[in-house]
Chains A and B, each alone.
Chain A
Amino acid sequence: DIQMTQSPSTLSASVGDRVTITCRASQNIYGWLAWYQQKPGKAPKLLIYKASSLESGVPARFSGSGSETEFTLTISSLQPDDFATYYCHQYNTDWWTFGQGTKVDI
């Protein structure tokens, strides 16, 4: 299985901060990586697919980058609605794997 290592596990930030979350794959996933935002009691919300493509309707302050085994999610200016847990997800193989999650709080 492809292991996904996400860091940090928690992140304290303030409104207006630039936030970066990193995900490392144990082998090349050819850019087949998604990022999700999840709030308590809700389904994961897709933010980014194919490593850097912004899902329709997602604010432009979210961006994804990376290739092969190293990927990042960046929030350019953190807004109050962005305090949530974020997950990376590789779908290069049918055996999906997920990062452990990053909780972004105040």
Chain B
Amino acid sequence: QLQLVQSGAEVRKPGSSVKVSCKTSGVTFNTFVFSWVRQAPGQGLEWMGRLIPISTAPVYAQKLQGRVTLTADKSTKTAYMELRDLRYDDTAVYYCAGVSNPTVYWGQGTLVTVSS
């Protein structure tokens, strides 16, 4: 059964970085399309970018271009999302997700709090 299990909650100071992991099981890792989505408190869902481990460069939402990096470790079947230069409005729950046709799978979410 396909599962996406994310790392735990993080607290960071403004200007620092955070790296969230998403460990997979039950997927064909190299061809799985990983998407990352975030949700700020009381807000809707915002797509951040997507990565296909075997394919070309990741694609990022224009709003986050230059601050976000998506990577994948094939040996551990784990995807990562790193966000740099954190700001207070980056406080959100971050989700990894992906499509295994025809349905969509989601991780449980990782709360990232940016606080001084």
Contact = CB atoms under 8 A, between A and B. Distances in A.
B85 to A, nearest CB: 23
Chain A interface SS verdict (over half): loop
Interface string B6-48: 0000000000000000000000000001010100000011110
Interface string B49-82: 0100000000101000000000000000000000
Contacts of B2: none
B20 to A, nearest CB: 14
B106 to A, nearest CB: 6
The interface residues of chain B, by DSSP majority, are classed as strand
Contacts of B102: 32, 49-50, 53
A55 B93 CA distance: 23
A37 to B, nearest CB: 12
Contact of A91 (B44, B45, B59, B99): B99
B108 A43 contact: yes
Interface of B: 33, 35, 37, 44-47, 50, 59, 61, 93, 95, 99, 102-104, 106-109
